[in-house]
Every structure is written in structure tokens, then in C-alpha cells.
Amino acid sequence: MDAHVVRRVFAALTPVLTGARLEKIHHPAPDLYTVTFYAAGHKQHLVLRAGRKLPLLYLSPRRPAAPSTPDAVTMRLRKYLCGKRVVDVVCHWQERRLAMRVASADQTWLVMDMREGVSLASAFAPAPDDGPWPDALTLVDACSDDAMPQTEGAVSEAWRTYPMLTPALRRALLHMDRPDAAALLVDLEAGCGDLFLYERGDGPVALSAWPLELGGLPVQPPAQSPVQPPVQPLVQPGGMPVVSPGGAWAAVSGRVSGLSGDVREVVCEDPLDAALRYGEPLVFGDLAATRHNEAAKPFKGESARLGRLLTKLDSEERRLRALLAERDDAVAVQAVLYRYPTEARLDHVIVPEGEGERRIALDPRKTVRENMADMFHRSDRGARGLAMLESRRASVREERMAAEQARLAPDAPADTTAGKVGRRGAQVRARTGGLPKTVQAFRSDDGFRLLRGRSAEGNAALLKLASPHDLWMHAEDGPSAHLVIRRDHAAHDVPEQTLVQAGVLVGLKSWQREDAQARIMCAYVKDVKPVRGAPAGKVRVERTLTSLVVKLDATLETRLAEGSVLPGHDNEAATTKAG
């Protein structure tokens, strides 16, 4: 986040944080902190990812999952901050630092530094007086190639002279005309205005306080004025709500050819909403990738171990084939055995081969007959060993393939298990067939994994396999199969196509299967609770997310199925829906 973006975010955060009551501090990952607080009757989470490369700060209704046991630093922060009310907020936007003073006998400040992280302080300097900026054209000249210092120390001194000229702003001004650059600096000096969010299909690309150039083409908003939607939870295609912590935003869609694909520009009037839409997918995506890598480590080690074992089996195969080749020598010695006395001990024998002769080395400590018998014995051992080796190699290859699949599967922690094997307990073997037989897996055209229960027991098993942020689907007003849409994290958007395909899979195993279309409801897994004491598969839906009407297509099951499909298996598990 550039300092000018941080300035807008800090300005919007200050009234929200002032008077708020701090509830808890979490430390989900290195350099990632979450401050949970109550303000205006709502619980909110201020998430900070500190660092030099890509620091982030946003306000969200969703909290990243944190370890069950906090570390010592987190416990110290909780000791001095939990339950305290924020009485003052000071922002140093040029240094990207925000400090909150809590009500206590001594001066206690919670300092959130976007470069260094979260810490406690007994004092914090007042916000610096921005004052009037230098003349815009003076700042533009300071960013020119001729005026830019060449040494690292000189660059630092230039930043101290003009701290508002952040690296990103300097790069932008270098590619702008002088009048446009001066106009941009005047707008930035006011400290207000829209933020520009750039998104691709795979997530956010950039967040800027001015329009960016991507792929060499300047990104310009369309000529028409943006539409102002009402201040309410936003709804994506398919009825998926996006919770906004502070007001509405106006989307201005413009397509540009940049980077590796089309980029969509969204003009955000609310800085908090812009920071949320930019930062949350990045934070949750990194956490999901970290969890996946940690879960894949044992399978990666197992795959490497099995690869080394296959190399040893190749070496063993060469040795066994050499033993098997001794049968030809044994047969040749057997053909000339009549030439030698019974007790003859020689270091070699000469046997005919084609039109010539061949020399076969022998062990002079044994008779010729004993050497021949040893050759036949070793060749028989080689033949038996090769048969066993092929069976062992096939087994090892199958295990390695299972380990590779478990390592690459995005939902490996939920759908595969690993157990310790070996004397040292350091080797891990992937177990195939991670899903129970009562659960059927599909893959949507967008790549999302869909799990559907085959029976009441399978419906109950889905809630154990799913994560709280996954989506759960069921037919409305009657029995049907349960289905779960796996998501990598809570901010992972589900495309409309995947929602429709999941709804069709539910409708085909519901009381509406003979109709042309079906009504399907959708909820978060965390809002679906098993009914205690009731038969398996009976649940209570505490909150419905959305509902949709889908046209049934019987061919979709075969096309999206992972593995075999059990046709004609109807699922009539009862479901109780509670308001």
C-alpha cells in the first residue's frame, strides 16, 4: 500500500476507532496481526500485514484463523489492551504508522507500523502538520530523471526533502505530462478523492490513489458517471453477499490489456471498502497457501523417499538381470562338462560359441560341476528376484502417485490423511481414498471441488469434511442430498457458474428431480448445525445466505464427476430449516 492510499485509509479509520473497545489481539502468522474491537454495536477486525514488500491494512467482519495457543508477544499485548477503550488515534501516514491510546492509568499506545508490525509504547509523537505542499511544478521537477539522485543516500535525502513523493508516485509522475502531473499533486494534497482498485479474475492486482498504466495502456474510467448503489450489503452474481464495513462503492468497469490478462478498474469511493477488497483476498490467499504447503510437507517428503526407493530398485534390477544372465554360461559349461574329470578345479573353461570359442571364468576353489551348479542357482535367484521386484516397483509407484496427488490437492488437509510409518516415525504414507464411500466428489468448470452426500450418513459426513467458510446447499421445501462447495478461504469468491452447477447436482438428488427446474438454498457451513439426537443427516440451518432457481440437466453428473458415479441412488435425507 502506497502512503497516499494509507492516508485515505487512516482518515476513514480514525472516527471508527475513536471510542471503540478493544476485545482481543491475534497473531495468525508472522507479521500478520488482528485487532478485534467493538464499535457502534458491531464486532470488527482490523487486520495488519506488516512488511517492506507488500504491507496491508484493512477493516473486515471476518477474522483470519489464529493458533489456539497465542505466543508471548500476543499475551503481553492482550494484558495491556483487552477491555480498554480507545481515547485517541494519531496517524503518521507518510511513515505508514497508526497509534491508538487506550484509557489507562499510564500512557499506553498501541502502535501499528505497516513496516515493523504491532507494538506497545508509552508515548507517541503527535501527528505532523502537513502544511502546504511545495509548488506542484517544483515537485514535478524534483521527480524528473535529471533531478533524481543517483546514489542511495541521495535518494533518501530527496525523500526527506519531499516526503510526499513516494516511490510509486515518483514512478507515476515520470510518465505523465507536466500539467497532468501538477493536477495530480494538487488532488493528492487535498487528501481526498477516490481510490482505484485493479482486479483480474484471479484476484486484486493493485490499489492506487491515481489511475495506473498497465501493459503500456493508460487506464481511464469510462465517460459515463458512476452509478451510486444504495448503502446496503453488496451482492455478487448468484446472490453472494459481500459485507462492506463502511458504505457503498461505485463500480466503474473498464477493460485494459495489461500484465497477463484483462484487468478491471473499480473506482472505490470508500477507502475502507477499497482496502478490504484489495487486502483480504491477498491475506486469506497467503494463509491458505501456507496451510496447504504445511499440509503438503509430509507428502512431499514421502514422495522424495519413494523416488529414492525407485532409484534403488532400478539398481537392484540391473544386479538381478546380471545374475539371470549367468544361466547362459551355466548351459554352456553343462554342454562341455564331459570333457573334464569330476574333481577338476580350473580357473576357466573354453566353450564353443558360433564359429569360435568363448572363455568363462570359474572359481578355482570349486570343481567345474560345482561352478556350474552355482551359476544355475544364481540365475534362479535372479529370476525370482525380478518377479518380486516388478511387484514391489508397481506398489511403490502407486504409493508415490498417491503422495503426489495428496501434495497437489488444494483440499489435502480435509480429504487426505497422513500417518507415521517406519522405525523413526519420520516417513509419512499417503492413504488413498480420503473421502468416505458415502460422499461423492465433483469438480465444477471453474475448478471448485463439490462434495455431495450419497446417503444420510454421507450428508452428516460432509459437515466433518468441510471448513466453516465453505458453502452448503440443499433443496428448498423438501428432502434432497446435501452438497458442499469447498473454498480455499473465507474471501474466496464463488463464480455464478459454480453455484448453478452445484444447485443442479443438488436438484438431481432431490424431491424436485422430475421437474424442469429446482429451487436451491445456500448457506455457510458454520450456520448449519446437526440436530442433536436426530437421525444422521438432519440439520438445522440458522441463517440462509441466498436461494436460486436452476434448470436441471441430467448429463451434468457424468460430466463433472470425479471417478465413478453410482446412478439411480436417491437421497431422501430429511432436513429441518429453522428461520
Confidence band, pLDDT 50/70/90 cuts, at residue 93: confident
Contact 528, 472 (CB under 8 A): yes
DSSP 269-299: S-HHHHHHHHHHHHHHHHHHHHHHHHHHHHH
Report the percent of the chain where pLDDT is more than 70.
80
Determine the pLDDT at residue 131. Answer: 66
Task: Give me the residue label for grid cell 464463488.
Answer: 494
Q: What is the rounded average pLDDT of the residues 17-36? A: 91
Contact 217, 196 (CB under 8 A): no
Determine the pLDDT at residue 574. Answer: 39
Confidence band, pLDDT 50/70/90 cuts, at residue 232: very low
Domain segments of the chain: what residues? 3-128, 136-222+236-279, 296-408, 439-577
What is the model's pTM? 0.67
Mean pLDDT rounded to a whole number for the chain:
79
Q: What is the rounded average pLDDT of the residues 371-397? A: 92
Determine the pLDDT at residue 305. Answer: 92
pLDDT score of 260 more than 80 = no
In terms of pLDDT, which residue wins out, 495 or 236?
495
**How far apart are alpha carbons 473 and 464 in whole angstroms?**
15
Beta-ladder partners of 132: none
**How far apart are alpha carbons 549 and 551 in whole angstroms?**
7
Q: What is the rounded average pLDDT of the residues 236-262? A: 37
Q: Which CATH architecture has domain 3-128?
A: Roll (2.30)
pLDDT score of 573 more than 50 = no
Up-side HSE of residue 354: CA atoms within 13 Å toward CB? 3
Nine-digit cell at 481?
442430498
In terms of pLDDT, which residue wins out, 130 or 414?
130
Determine the pLDDT at residue 223. Answer: 33
Confidence band, pLDDT 50/70/90 cuts, at residue 254: very low
Determine the pLDDT at residue 434. Answer: 61
Report the percent of the chain where pLDDT is more than 90.
34
pLDDT score of 436 more than 90 = no
Residue 120 neighbours by CB distance under 10 Å:
15
Could you report the per-residue pLDDT of 397-424, keeping only the tens digit for each? 998 888 887 777 645 443 333 333 333 3
Determine the pLDDT at residue 56. Answer: 92
**How far apart are alpha carbons 531 and 578 in whole angstroms?**
11
Contact 279, 49 (CB under 8 A): yes
Neighbouring residues of 275: CB distance < 8 A, sequence distance ≥ 6 = 1, 5, 9, 56, 57, 58, 59, 207
pLDDT score of 354 more than 50 = yes
What's phi and psi for 270, nearest 5 deg?
Answer: -100, 115
Amino acid at 176: M
The DSSP code for 139 is H
Residue 104 neighbours by CB distance under 10 Å:
12
Confidence band, pLDDT 50/70/90 cuts, at residue 191: confident
As a whole number of Å, the CA-based R_g of the chain is 34
Task: Give me the residue label for grid cell 543516500.
Answer: 153
Q: What is the rounded average pLDDT of the residues 280-301? A: 86
pLDDT score of 427 more than 70 = no
Could you report the per-residue pLDDT of 315-339, keeping only the tens digit for each? 999 999 999 999 999 999 999 998 8
Could you report the per-residue pLDDT of 136-185, keeping only the tens digit for each? 677 766 666 544 444 444 444 555 677 788 888 887 877 778 788 788 88
Up-side HSE of residue 558: CA atoms within 13 Å toward CB? 5
